Amino acid sequence: MLKKVLIANRGEIAIRVMRACRELSIKTVSVYSEADRNALHAKYADEGFCLGSSHPLESYLNIKKIIAIAREAQVDGIHPGYGFLSENPNFAYSCEREGIKFIGPSSRAIELMGNKIVARKTMSEAGIPVTPGSGRIEKIEEARQVAAKVGYPIIVKAAAGGGGIGMKIVHDSGELESAIIAIRSIAYSAFGDDGLFLEKYLVRPRHIEFQVLADKFGNIIHLGERECSIQRRHQKLVEEAPSPIMTEKLREEIGKIAIQVARTIDYTNAGTVEFIYADGSFYFLEMNTRIQVEHPTTEMVTNVDLVKEQLRIASDLPLKIKQEDIKINGWAVECRINAEDPLNNFVPCPGKLSGYRSPGGVGIRVDSGVHTFYTIPSFYDSMISKLIAWGRNRSEAIERMKRALYEYVIVGVKTNIPFHKAVMSNEVFQKGELSTHFIEEQDGLYQEMERIIEENDSLTGKIESVFGNKRKMAAAVAAVTTCRLNAEG
């Protein structure tokens, strides 16, 4: 088993990994930027090292600094979490070169799946269904020919894209050239690679992904699916496991494909194979070569600790879990709680949490890295926490989530909690009739959010005054103390 692990990340995922390490008696090392000097993840670890400047390029994306700290701390493993360097093949290669276990797949597997054009070609050659589209597009005329062949609408995608960045839907030939120019510019700026390709755009698809685990001995299993169709700007907001449309037969069919994807690229550790599902057909979309934000939903319904499994696999231990051991028990729903304004196109709203109290009770899990008076920096993602509710069935999970959202008290910043409340009460959502266009199609969501915000139907409004009174009291005590000191002086 690994003895000491550096977590090359921040926030809730850093805490999540540290918790798993602590349960396995593995020592932990945190890294943090100046903006995160007082963050929980910086304090939770056994050791902590400051990376310097708050800018991601000089801190959480600085491979040389992180490797230097890993050498200084004498760790034998690095867990990248998600985001930042988690899918950077150069980072994985740097760990391999230093003799440090990268807690994830090989640099080769990351590179293969990181370029979407290469991934599509690899999967197509392996007989895995991919959406109709193209290889790398160099010229506008070439793009016109592909688009005419597969039919509009199409989607222009950056080859090195991810996280919803570098994608644009094109509805007719008149929009194609400007879309390609725009995506080339975004792709080069964001990823240093202006390569792009085209895919047939499915009008009302569902986004379904399968969790896989693979060890170095050739054992590969899947742990069922997650439904991730509720998105804004191609970024997920609500996830659930299992999917409302899944049958045992379909799960077995897609699960076998997910395992085949992993086997095709000699994959090890935890990974997620993503599919687009529409009109009874499914297509390979991409493979995320890391732990996913939404992994707790799978953990809740399978009772498998995915991060512990990552650590065991990285320690060269064989999987003890077999495919027949995986049973789906109940239902789990996850809401990403972000500091953002859902009524203003989900614009981020960083700032200080002047009051914070997370929900609890039966079936509720909160993965968070914040606390009262914590300041959400403007440099990074605006996620506050992940709120997960488990129930014996989907209806119970939704009702528990509604109750947990009522209990969640966050004072000082705007959050997307009103959005999640509106979704949980939405009849279409409750029926499980989902697609990646759910938000755009449900016009009533915005009216419901406005009503929720106006009525403030949660504990936040009732407790906010308490936090306010505490602040006034603290200020009064400080003022009195100052007066006494002045008088004594």
CA atoms of 366 and 300, how far apart (whole Å): 12
For β-strands 4-7 and 77-79, DSSP reports them as parallel
Instruction: Name the token pair of 129.
Output: 């269904």
Please report the DSSP string for 418-467 in residue order: HHHHHHHT-HHHHHT---TTHHHH-THHHHHHHHHHHHT-SHHHHHHHHH
Q: Count the alpha carbons within 13 Å of 319 in the hemisphere toward its beta carbon.
A: 26
Q: Minimal CA–CA distance to 287: which of 305, 267, 310?
A: 267
Across-strand partners of 49?
Answer: 31
CA atoms of 32 and 427, how far apart (whole Å): 43
Q: Is 286 exposed, middle or buried (0-12, 13-18, 19+ CB in 10 A)?
A: buried
Upstream peptide bond of 348 is cis (omega within 30 degrees of 0): no
| CA 286 vs CA 110, 114, 275, 291: distances in Å | 12, 9, 7, 14
Strands (E) in 345-426, as ranges, are 347-348, 351-352, 355-357, 364-368, 375-376, 383-391, 409-411
- List the alpha helices (DSSP H) in 192-305: 248-264, 295-302
Across-strand partners of 230?
Answer: 238
290 as an active site residue: the answer is yes
Residue type (1 letter), 384: I
CA atoms of 287 and 263, how far apart (whole Å): 12
CA atoms of 224 and 222, how far apart (whole Å): 6
Instruction: Name the token pair of 196.
Output: 């792009």
Upstream peptide bond of 242 is cis (omega within 30 degrees of 0): yes
Go through the chain and tell me how many residues it has. 489
69, containing H or E segment: helix 63-73
Catalytically annotated residue among 251, 290, 365, 400: 290
CA atoms of 144 and 458, how far apart (whole Å): 52
φ, ψ for residue 310 (rounded to 5)? Answer: -60, -45
Q: What are the residue numbers of the active site?
A: 290
